[in-house]
Amino acid sequence: MRTSPIQESTFKTFMESYDGYSHYLHDTLYYDYISKIQEVHLLGLYEDDVLIGVSMLSATPVLKRYRLFTSHTGPLIKGFNNERLEFFLGEIDAYVKKNHALKLIHSPYHIYQVRNGEGEVLHSEKNNPGIVDIYTRLGYTHQGFTKQLVTEELLRHQAILDITKSEDELVKNMDSKTRYNTRAVEQMDLKLRYLDEDEYDKFIDIYKDTEERIGFDPVSSQKIKNLLKTLKDKTYLTLSYIEIDVYLERLNKELGSLEADKIGMEEKLESGQGTKRMKGRLNETKDLVANKRKRIAKIEEVQKEYGNTIELSAAMYYYNNHEMVYLFSGSYPEHSMFMGTNFTTWEMIRKAKEMGLPRFNFFGLTGDFTEDSKDYGVYKFKKGYNTFIEELPGTFYKVFNKPVHKIAEKMNKI
C-alpha cells in the first residue's frame, strides 16, 4: 500500500462509486463548499495502483506558520479493515506533519460496536473495539466515550433501520404504538411537499422552536442555512400539512356509513330478525358513531381556529450511496394530534427504499438510554421503528508541537 496526494477530479470519481460508511462532511458537495473557505488537502490510499481510500483534510492557520487539521470523519476505505486504516492514518500523520500541523483531529465514521434497540451491546461481526487501540498506538488522545449532545462533535450513537425488508415487514416490526400511528395517519389524508430554497427560513423557524422546546444544544440558524445550501442537491427538505376540508369529508363519509349500519341493525332488531350477536355489534356501532361525531366536532373547531390548510412538521434528509439520514426536524406541538412527524418519517423511509438505499439513519442519540436522559423522547421515537444502534468510537486528536500548542491555547487561537 502507498499514499499520495490526489486531484479533486480523482476524489470526486472515487466518491461517485463509494457505497461504504460516509458522513455528509466527506461529500463532494461539502468539499465544494469547504474548499472555497479553507485550505483543503486530498490524499489517496493505493493498493496495487488501485485507489482504495481517500482522506479529505481541511486546515486552519494558527499563528501563521502552523495548521490545525481535521479529517472530516474520514478516512474512507473500500474493503475496510483495521490494517488498512492503521497504515493510512500513519501516512496521514506523516503528511500533515510535513505541512506544519500543530494538531490533527479525527472523528471517524466507523463502527465501534453495535447495540440493540434497548442499548445493549450485541455480539456482532461489525463490532470493532480495536479501532480505539489503533489511534492510541499512533499517539492520539481519545476525548472519551461521551454521552451528550455537543454540536462541535460527532454524536457517537445513531439509530439505524434496515430497509431492505418489504414495507409490510417494516410495519410489522414496529412497536405497537408506532405501527398504530403509521396506519392512523393514512386515514387523515396528510400531504407532503418539498420546500424550495426561498423557504429555508420557514424550516429553520420550525426547527429552532422545537429545539428550544425540547432543550437540545442549539445549532445556529446560519449553520443550518449554510448546510441546506451546501447539500441541497442531495437533500430533501419536507413540510407535512393537512387540508382540513378533505379530512372532514372523509370523516363525514365514515360517519354516514356507520349511521347507515346502525339504522339497518336497529330495523332488523325491531322486526325480530336480529340476533344477540347483532345487539352487541349495534352497541359497538353506537359508540363508534358517538366517537366519530366528537372527532368531527373537534376537527371543525381546529379548522375554525387555524384555517383550512395547517402545516404540521418540517424535516431535512440527506442521502448518499449508502443511506438516507434524518438530520433535523421540527413540529408544531399544538397540532400533534395529526402526527405529522410520523407521517413524514414513514414517507421518507419509503422514499429511501424507492431509491434503492439499504438503510435509513435516524442519526444522533446521546447514548444515555435511561428515562432521565435529555433525549429520551427522541430515543423512544426512533426505537419504535425497530432500529438498532451503531456506536461510533468518538473523537481523537494528536498534538504535533506541544509547546506551540500551549502558547496558541493561551492566546485563544485554537
What does the pLDDT look like over 107-124, one tens digit per residue?
A: 999 999 999 999 999 999
217 & 331 share domain: yes
175 & 76 share domain: no
Does 114 reside within a domain? no
Q: Please report the pLDDT score of residue 364 as a whole number.
A: 84
365 & 238 share domain: yes
266 & 316 share domain: no
Asked whether the CA dihedral 164, 320, 18, 385 is positive or negative, the reply is negative
172 & 42 share domain: no
Q: Please report the pLDDT score of residue 170 as a whole number.
A: 98
Bond preceding residue 75 cis, omega within 30 of 0: yes
Does 134 reside within a domain? no
Q: Please report the pLDDT score of residue 413 as a whole number.
A: 75
271 & 313 share domain: no
Q: Please report the pLDDT score of residue 237 as a whole number.
A: 97
Question: What single DSSP character describes residue 218?
Answer: P
Q: Please report the pLDDT score of residue 18 as a whole number.
A: 96
237 & 345 share domain: yes
Does 136 reside within a domain? no
11 & 49 share domain: yes
- pTM for the structure as a whole: 0.92
Closest CA to 41 of 83, 84, 104: 104
276 & 316 share domain: no
237 & 266 share domain: no
Q: Please report the pLDDT score of residue 13 as a whole number.
A: 97
Does 318 reside within a domain? yes
Flag residues of the chain having pLDDT under 50.
151
Closest CA to 3 of 92, 80, 86: 92
Q: Please report the pLDDT score of residue 135 as a whole number.
A: 97
Domain containing 357 — which CATH number?
3.40.630.30
Q: Which domain holds residue 213?
A: 158-242+309-391
Q: Within 26-175, where are the H helices?
A: 28-37, 82-98, 130-137, 167-173
326 & 208 share domain: yes
Q: Please report the pLDDT score of residue 4 as a whole number.
A: 97
Among left, alpha and beta (phi > 0; psi -120 to 50; other), residue 367 is: left
Identify the residue whose cell numbers are 454540536.
151
Does 167 reside within a domain? yes
What digits encode the pLDDT tens for the residues 20-34?
A: 999 999 999 999 999
Q: Please report the pLDDT score of residue 149 as a whole number.
A: 58
Number of domain units in the chain: 3
